[in-house]
């Protein structure tokens, strides 16, 4: 076991978009910061995930850092929906351009983090035993990194190659001449299925619940578009922050009932042709009004009927059991058309239940499908998985795993009662995955940095979310979701995709704009809802910032 005795101001866990910006911002503010990262490179989810067809479903010009003029002007995105390789290249470029790597420890996975209440500092222990100490910890562990590995009967007996989409091998998989099967038809399945079908001898898709899928209509950016963005990015980014999703969608202002039927249809069609998630933003009440929702759902089902030649297969691909938008809508290319290929079979588990996985294939109640390569596209233990993978506790007896036994509790997604001096970026209780993640990560990092400067200037050594403020915020988070149709789906937003996980709607859906205004008000009121502690005598001895107390 080795010990790193240098007391840092801040340890950031994770070197994805959030952790890298955290390092840059806090270093600029004069803090001594170290990032600890399990992977061997920067990138976070864009480092680990590398399955074929992986793209972000947010426009590349928006899914990138806004804080730096240099990055904005020097990087040129090639396409509307960038591939993983391009996003990863961008993150590496940012890390190099900002000289971040020298303060990142790679290949080091944190196993536990304990706050010593008497000393007022965190001790983090990595797998392998190395320890790190800091006054503050920022968890930039990301909402989508821990794979969801479902219990499927017979899975352990499978004798072929088993791959989880989240842990895709670094070397490309050779699928030519092989019988390939994919379990899962969320965003991951929808992105990879058309490409796997082109490569495999035969592709079998196992669908438990059909997804609503919209066409990406991906395209290369032309120079005029890039120039426009570079010239106007400050205003564009600010405008995005003032929207409810943190993305520059064309937001419809009116409920569907107030629009003439022929205009509704024409607008949906126009948005469908534009591609991406545009079709979801036509009416202001998609997630609040069942009739509006059904109107859009039926429009999307009609598109499935038009794309898939065999009406029986088309029917299997149509979602009916949950309102559109209550699970993340998938953005794909040629997804439905892929089912017109001769080398693709669809197992719809609703009409053809699974018996078991066998060493050489999949047995359902109707038949047997030979499989050489089995791909689990079964998603993530989202939002809480990475945080709960670390044993986070205090010497005073608080444990995150106990505190979150019935689901996550946080104040603004940023702080957790009982865990002083720990912040979370895009945590449960913040807009997080219900927004443009890069924009939200930037906001949270800036808020945390301002908060740490505030504490430093005043010589306050500890800050912790107040329990009553946290409860009130979580009630508000619950109420925001209950005011919508979002609890109608067994989605990963609610933890429903992971066996045994407590079900609770985790992201804050009241809007990025509303959330950021609330965070500003909290900060302006001297971090209202947080308990800010004065230094104890013991903490003062080692304190770097006490001189500025006042
Ligand atoms: P998702 O969206 O959670 O999708 C996982 C898929 O796997 C979904 O179709 C699930 O069906 C299916 N699944 C999960 N467990 C099983 C079992 N036991 N048997 C059969 N099928 C199963 O994960 P993705 O990786 O596609 O996308 C996650 C997010 O990443 C995405 O929303 C973007 O934000 C980026 P279900 O619908 O649960 O019935």
pLDDT tens, residue order, the chain (550 aa): 445 558 999 999 999 999 999 999 999 999 999 999 999 999 999 999 999 999 999 999 999 999 999 999 999 999 999 999 999 999 999 999 999 999 999 999 999 999 999 999 999 999 999 999 999 999 999 999 999 999 999 999 999 999 999 999 988 899 999 999 999 999 999 999 999 999 999 999 999 999 999 999 999 999 999 999 999 999 999 999 999 999 999 999 999 999 999 999 999 999 999 999 999 999 999 999 999 999 999 999 999 999 999 999 999 999 999 999 999 999 999 999 999 999 999 999 999 999 999 999 999 999 999 999 999 999 999 999 999 999 999 999 999 999 999 999 999 999 999 999 999 999 999 999 999 999 999 999 999 999 999 999 999 999 999 999 999 999 999 999 999 999 999 999 999 999 999 999 999 999 999 999 999 999 999 999 999 997 544 443 333 332 222 2
DSSP state of 432: G
Cα–Cα distance measured from residue 38 to residue 55, given in angstroms and rounded to the nearest whole number: 22
Lookup result for tokens 């979002």? 486
Q: Which of 183, 186, 348, 503 to mutate to test the pocket of ligand 1 (most atoms within 8 A of CB)?
A: 186
Fold of 4-146+382-549: FAD/NAD(P)-binding domain (3.50.50)
- Residue nearest atom 28 in ligand 1 by C-alpha distance: 379
Domain spans of the chain, in order of start: 4-146+382-549, 213-376
Rg, Å, the chain Cα set: 24
The atom of ligand 1 lying closest to the CA of 189 is 26
Taking the centre of ligand 1 as the mean of its atom positions, its distance from the CA of residue 75, in whole angstroms, is: 33
What is the rounded CA–CA span in Å between residue 66 and residue 61? Answer: 10
User: Residue 403: how many CB atoms within 10 A of its CB?
Assistant: 17
Q: Please give the distance, rounded to the nearest whole angstrom, from the Cα atom of residue 478 to the centre of ligand 1.
A: 23
What are the structure tokens assigned to 449, written together?
């940095």
Task: Compute, in angstroms, the gap from residue 175 CA to the centroid of ligand 1.
Answer: 22
Buried b (16+ CB within 10 A) or exposed e, 237-266: beebbebbbbbbbeebeeebeebeeeebee
């Amino acid at each position: 076991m080795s010990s790193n005795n240098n007391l840092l101001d801040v340890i950031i866990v994770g070197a994805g978009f959030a952790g890298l910006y955290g390092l840059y911002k806090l270093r600029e503010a004069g803090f001594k910061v170290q990032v600890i990262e399990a992977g061997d490179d920067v990138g976070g989810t864009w480092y680990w995930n590398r399955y074929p067809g992986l793209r972000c479903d947010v426009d590349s010009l928006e899914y990138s850092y806004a804080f730096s003029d240099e990055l904005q002007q020097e990087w040129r995105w090639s396409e509307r929906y960038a591939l993983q390789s391009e996003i990863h290249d961008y993150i590496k470029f940012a890390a190099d351009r900002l000289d971040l790597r020298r303060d990142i420890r790679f290949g080091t996975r944190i196993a536990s983090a304990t706050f010593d209440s008497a000393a007022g500092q965190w001790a983090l222990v990595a797998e392998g035993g190395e320890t790190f100490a800091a006054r503050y910890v920022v968890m930039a562990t990301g909402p989508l990194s821990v794979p969801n590995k479902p219990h499927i009967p017979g899975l352990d007996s499978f004798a072929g190659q088993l791959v989880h989409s989240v842990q895709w091998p670094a070397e490309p998989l050779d699928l030519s001449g092989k019988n390939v099967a994919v379990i899962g038809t969320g965003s991951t399945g929808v992105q990879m299925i058309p490409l796997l079908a082109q490569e495999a001898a035969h592709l079998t898709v196992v669908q438990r619940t059909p997804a609503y899928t919209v066409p990406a209509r991906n395209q290369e950016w032309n120079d005029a578009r890039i120039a426009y963005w570079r010239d106007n990015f400050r205003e564009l980014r600010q405008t995005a922050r003032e929207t409810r999703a943190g993305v520059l969608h064309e937001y419809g202002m009116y409920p569907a009932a107030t629009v003439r039927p022929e205009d509704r249809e024409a607008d949906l069609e126009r948005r469908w042709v534009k591609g991406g998630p545009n079709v979801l933003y036509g009416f202001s009440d998609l997630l609040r009004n069942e009739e509006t929702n059904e109107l859009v759902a039926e429009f999307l089902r009609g598109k499935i009927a038009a794309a898939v030649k065999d009406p029986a297969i088309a029917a299997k691909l149509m979602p009916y059991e949950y309102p559109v938008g209550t699970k993340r809508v998938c953005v794909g290319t040629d997804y439905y058309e892929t089912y017109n290929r001769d080398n693709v079979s669809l197992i719809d588990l609703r009409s053809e239940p699974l018996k078991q996985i066998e060493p050489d294939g999949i047995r359902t109640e109707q038949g047997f499908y030979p499989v050489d390569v089995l791909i689990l596209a079964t998603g993530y233990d989202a939002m809480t998985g990475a945080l709960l993978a670390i044993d986070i506790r205090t010497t005073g007896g608080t444990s995150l795993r106990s505190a979150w036994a019935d689901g996550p509790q946080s104040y603004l997604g940023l702080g957790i009662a009982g865990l002083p001096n720990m912040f979370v970026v895009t945590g449960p209780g913040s807009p997080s995955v219900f927004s443009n993640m890069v924009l939200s990560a930037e906001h949270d990092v800036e808020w945390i940095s301002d908060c740490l400067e505030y504490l430093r200037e005043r010589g306050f050594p500890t800050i912790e979310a107040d329990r009553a403020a946290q409860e009130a915020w979580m009630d508000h988070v619950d109420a925001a979701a209950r005011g919508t149709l979002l609890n109608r789906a067994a989605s990963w937003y609610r933890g429903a995709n992971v066996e045994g996980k407590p079900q609770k709607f985790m992201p804050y859906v009241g809007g990025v704009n509303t959330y950021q205004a609330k965070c500003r008000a909290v900060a302006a009121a001297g971090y209202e809802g947080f308990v800010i502690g004065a230094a104890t005598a013991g903490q003062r001895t080692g304190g770097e910032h006490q001189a500025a107390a006042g």
